[in-house]
Amino acid sequence: MTVKSTSRARKKAAPGVPDPARAGVGAEPELVQLLTPEGDRVEHPEFPLTVTPEELRSLYRDLVLVRRFDAEATSLQRQGELGLWASLLGQEAAQVGSGRAMRTGDHAFPTYREHGVAWCRDVDPLNLLGMFRGVNNGGWDPNEKNFHLYTIVIGAQTLHATGYAMGITKDGADDAVIAYFGDGASSQGDVNEAFTFASVYNSPVVFFCQNNQWAISEPTTLQTRIPLYRRASGFGFPGVRVDGNDVLAVLAVTRWALDHARTGQGPVLVEAFTYRMGAHTTSDDPTRYRQTEETEAWKAKDPILRLKAHLEKEGLADEAFFAGVEAESEKLGLRVREGVRSMPDPDPTLIFEHAYSEPHPLVDEERAEYEAYAASFEGGEHH
């Protein structure tokens, strides 16, 4: 598509007004990158990273298994086993890189798309699928793996993360928190309030924005006129844009950000510049609002292919390794398929189960009413 409006073209060229649609694309210096799309290792003076071949292989395994799990969930939705799925396709490096940067005591507050972070926190993938199948609304224990519940209301979790971080400070602990959100959420009041609270209380929280360029059908240009990471400066803390498809850069930048936070230096905003390769969710149709050319261009920056290219170029992994990961991926797919298909519906009385933690007469009364009503059908033709 050609740009027809000359006024728009002029506006783009105006000095001092960065074009967010183009910002960070290509080799702009502000984008931290440690692994090129071709798989070549580059250095960044501020974010050095030493990784062993074993760590590289482990990251590759994470990326492949996370993508496989995600693809399996998309298929299960198509087969009617899940009501909905929000695919992370394309964002594996942003999630695995940041997830692996965390220490055991750190906490993650996710949106509904952080399947790769959950993987790194050792959350059973099947736990994530309960809400998409409709058997619960989350259900896992957030404190077991320090991975909090998925949050669907956009941006709300950034405040929970900030409050949690305030608690860490009170406890005198040196843990840190990552608040995950997206480019769309950056417009939400809650996110801006979280920036304010974290800033004035100097809380140990890393705001990790996966800028995947699209909030359903709305491009980032509808959320911001400046690159998102620069929002941080207005709140008084550092912001960094990292190549979100470069797992090594994300790992290095997030590690730095978490250390910055946990050592009492306050919050950091990391903007992981990436791309949502798939639809917003399985209910979405991106062909109505974006061009195939754009998606194709991002394919060349694929996070898995570039790490594979690196491993191959440097001779750090052999065929047996790749075959092993592939076999493991098949096994994971099978486990997820079987696990979802055999996931039982809850007993209807689950409705009443956890409305309150302490006894509540109205809930008890309505449960009794329901149970009596249900029992009236027992042995009858309706049951």
Residue number with CB closer to another protein (17 or 153): 153
Q: Pick the catalytic residue from 107, 231, 280, 310.
A: 280
Residue number with CB closer to another protein (320 or 362): 362
Q: How far is the CB of 134 from another protein (least distance, A)?
A: 13
Q: Pick the catalytic residue from 289, 341, 356, 360.
A: 289
Q: How far is the CB of 166 from another protein (least distance, A)?
A: 6
Could you tell me which of 236, 153, 240 has the C-alpha nearest to residue 191?
Answer: 153
Q: How far is the CB of 184 from another protein (least distance, A)?
A: 16
Q: How far is the CB of 374 from another protein (least distance, A)?
A: 20
Residue number with CB closer to another protein (47 or 197): 197
- Site of interaction with another protein (CB under 8 A): 136-144, 148-149, 151, 153, 156, 158-168, 170-171, 189-190, 193-194, 196-197, 200, 353-358, 360-363
Q: How far apart are CA 48 and CA 255, in angstroms?
A: 11
For residue 64 the two structure tokens come to 């492949």
Q: How far apart are CA 198 and CA 271, in angstroms?
A: 17
Query: Would you call 229 a catalytic residue per the annotation?
Result: no
Q: Is 135 exposed, middle or buried (0-12, 13-18, 19+ CB in 10 A)?
A: middle
Q: Pick the catalytic residue from 148, 230, 276, 306.
A: 276
Query: Would you call 289 a catalytic residue per the annotation?
Result: yes
Contact 241, 52 (CB under 8 A): no
Query: Would you call 276 a catalytic residue per the annotation?
Result: yes
The tally of CA atoms less than 13 A away on the side-chain side of residue 126 is 13
Could you tell me which of 206, 268, 211 has the C-alpha nearest to residue 25?
Answer: 211
Residue number with CB closer to another protein (191 or 250): 191
**Residues in Cβ contact with 124 at an 8 Å cutoff, skipping those fewer than 6 apart:** none
Query: Catalytic residue positions?
Result: 276, 280, 289
